[in-house]
Amino acid sequence: MQVYKAVFKIIQKNLPQIMIYIVVFGVVALGLSSSAGTNPTDMDFTESKLNIAFIDYDGSALSEGLKDYLSHSANMIDIPDESDKLQDALFFREIEYIVRVPKRFSDNMMKGEAVQIEKTAVSGTISEVYLDNIINKYVNTVKTYALNMEGISDAELVQFVENDLEQTVEVTMNRQVEEVSKGQRAGNHFNYMAYSLFAVLILGVSVIMLVFDNKDLKSRNLCSPMTLRSMNFQLILGNLSYAVLAWIVMIIPSMILFGSFMFTEKGLLLLLNSFIFTVSALSISFLISILVNGPGAVSAAANVVSLGTSFISGVFVPQELLSDKVLRVASFTPNYWFVKSNITIAGIANVTAKTVTPIFYNMLIVLGFAVVALALALVITKQKRMSS
């Protein structure tokens, strides 16, 4: 296995240049993970209280009931009923809402008449809408009882309303939402893999093929006792081993960042999609290695092909932000279908035959690129051999 060993000696010699792209991918992956922060579905909801001023001109049991109900969602700040002091407190955000219960509030409510509770708040804020809803909920509940229960006293009405408004509903977070969120972050992570993996494969395969395509070395190899078939087999095996090794190195960050998620159905689909993309990128890298003429062109080809295809296919810019013309051009690259599959995998809540069918179609297209690139490479190789 001399040729097979020689392949990895060549890779080892060019490892510093290859490691640049691996390090770039690792830094991007960690950066995305840290910027993503904590998943919103992992956090518990905690209701916060607002500071309000409550001014009661009625002094009835109903107005006291409203004050007591508001105290569950707001802190009552004691401020004198003076316009200047109230406005200053609102301006300096000592309070966020002022409630003024008018006179005859209870009498009008018991008669079913329209009642207007005066309020002062910073217009358009969340706190205004939040407290408006709370007050409306109390007033509407009071009206319902007042209109349907004749002869009920204020105290009884307040008790009924209080019992109704104390009813709560237990909310359980849907774990599927969490899985979709994690899937989206993992999908974005694998999208960025397309750039680094493509560049790493182009660099590695090209330098291997350039060395073995050297005229003097090729002549010496032909004089050796090793058959051409054995030599080509070891060369193919070496390139395949290099591609698989590069893929394993690239998926290690995903195992660290997403843990057990990578062993779920969606995680395994992402891994399978990336492996098929690796096969396609390997074939294209082999085609490029035949077309480049020297070490200087290898680096240029790696940057142009990996960056160019990544920019137009949705790796760096989401596909929904790209124009139809750009996406039409990108559809002639395996990166586009790779990213499209990642987006689909990230967005599905349940893995079923119906949801994964489009993903497998995309994978077949990516494999089609591999077959076409390999066929072109073999044709070009044969023509070069016949002309030499």
If phi > 0 it is left, if psi is from -120 to 50 it is alpha, else beta; for residue 99 that is beta
Which residue has better confidence, 245 or 142? 245
- Residue 32 contacts by C-beta under 8 Å, 6 or more apart in sequence? 185, 188, 189, 192
165-198: pLDDT as tens digits: 777 666 555 555 555 567 788 888 898 888 889 9
- Residue 206 contacts by C-beta under 8 Å, 6 or more apart in sequence? 285, 288, 289, 292, 298, 301, 302
**Cα–Cα distance, 311 to 242 (Å, whole number):** 26
The answer to whether 281 touches 198, Cβ cutoff 8 Å, is yes
Supply φ then ψ for residue 99, to 5 degrees.
-115, 130
Percent of the chain's residues with pLDDT above 70? 88
> Domain segments of the chain: what residues?
2-40+175-387, 50-165
Tokens of 163: 């019992």
Instruction: Report, at the CATH architecture level, how domain 50-165 is classified.
Output: 3-Layer(aba) Sandwich (3.40)
**Cα–Cα distance, 66 to 143 (Å, whole number):** 13
234-263: pLDDT as tens digits: 888 989 999 999 999 999 988 888 888 889
Count CA atoms within 13 Å of residue 368 on its CB side: 12
**Cα–Cα distance, 201 to 234 (Å, whole number):** 18
Tokens of 324: 């139809």
Question: Which residue is listed with tokens 């205004």?
Answer: 128
Going by C-alpha positions, the residue among 325, 303, 302, 326 that lies closest to residue 314 is 326
61-104: pLDDT as tens digits: 888 888 888 888 888 988 888 888 888 888 888 888 889 988 88
Q: Within 37-170, where are the H helices?
A: 61-70, 83-91, 105-110, 126-148, 154-165
